[in-house]
């Protein structure tokens, strides 16, 4: 069976949750002391894309003027704007709940920015009760994301929330 963590480069011998703990530590170190939101979000997207196997897109959509606008990411060019409620990203933004989609072809309204994407995980970014954006990961493999990925990537978002100037990041 495919082990999505098999080639995780931090330390394949460590138990899965510890590997995400280490990723969070790396991200903390990467963005500590920097207040520029584009710089920080770009480095977070790059670090996560490099750290996790079997991804074809990792990045941020930021809530600006009532819609989601693409922010720093790694991968092929993506849809620039997504209406709230549309696609997997829009569903995460409207519900405020993480979306784990094993087969994007079966998700009503999925937006195919990259035809290679087969599964997707989207974590909403909630600050003081408001959704300021989403963190979106796409994989060319079906069912790439399991419960550990969900918990780990929610921890990644929780760790970066205090380090980002969201007012500045979401200015239209
Ligand atoms: N598939 C997403 C759109 C964003 S991209 O894949 C980068 C969605 O349905 O929300």
pLDDT tens-digit map of 20-49 = 999 999 999 999 999 999 999 999 999 999
Are 81 and 58 in contact by the 8 Å Cβ rule? The answer is no
Separation of CA 14 and ligand 1 centre (Å) = 31
Are 48 and 137 in contact by the 8 Å Cβ rule? The answer is yes
Q: Is the dihedral of CA 32, 29, 149, 62 positive or negative?
A: positive
Question: Does the beta carbon of 111 lie inside 6 Å of ligand 1?
Answer: yes
State the average pLDDT for the chain. 91
57 beta partners: 75, 138
Q: What pLDDT score was predicted for residue 16? A: 65
Question: Does the beta carbon of 138 lie inside 6 Å of ligand 1?
Answer: yes
If you take atom 6 of ligand 1, which residue's CA is the nearest one? 113
CB under 8 Å, gap of 24 or more: what pairs does 101-105 form?
Answer: 102/142, 102/143, 102/145, 103/142, 103/143, 104/138
Segment 102-125, tens digit of pLDDT: 999 999 989 988 899 999 999 999
- Please give the model's pTM, rounded to 2 decimal places: 0.91
Are 156 and 27 in contact by the 8 Å Cβ rule? The answer is yes
Question: Does the beta carbon of 69 lie inside 6 Å of ligand 1?
Answer: no
């Amino acid at each position: 069976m495919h082990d999505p963590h098999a080639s995780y480069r931090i330390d394949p011998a460590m138990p899965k949750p510890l590997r995400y703990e280490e990723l969070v530590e790396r991200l903390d170190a990467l963005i500590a002391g920097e207040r520029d939101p584009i710089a920080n979000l770009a480095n977070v997207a790059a670090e996560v894309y490099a750290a996790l196997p079997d991804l074809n897109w990792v990045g941020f959509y930021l809530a600006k003027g009532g819609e989601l606008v693409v922010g720093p990411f790694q991968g092929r060019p993506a849809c620039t704007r997504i209406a709230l409620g549309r696609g997997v990203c829009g569903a995460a933004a409207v519900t405020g709940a993480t979306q784990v989609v094993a087969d994007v072809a079966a998700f009503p309204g999925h937006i195919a920015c990259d035809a290679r994407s087969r599964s997707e995980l989207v974590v909403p970014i909630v600050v003081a009760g408001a959704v300021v954006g989403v963190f979106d990961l796409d994989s060319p493999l079906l069912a790439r994301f399991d419960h550990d990925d969900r918990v780990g990537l929610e921890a990644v978002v929780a760790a970066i929330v205090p380090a980002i100037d969201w007012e500045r990041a979401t200015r239209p």
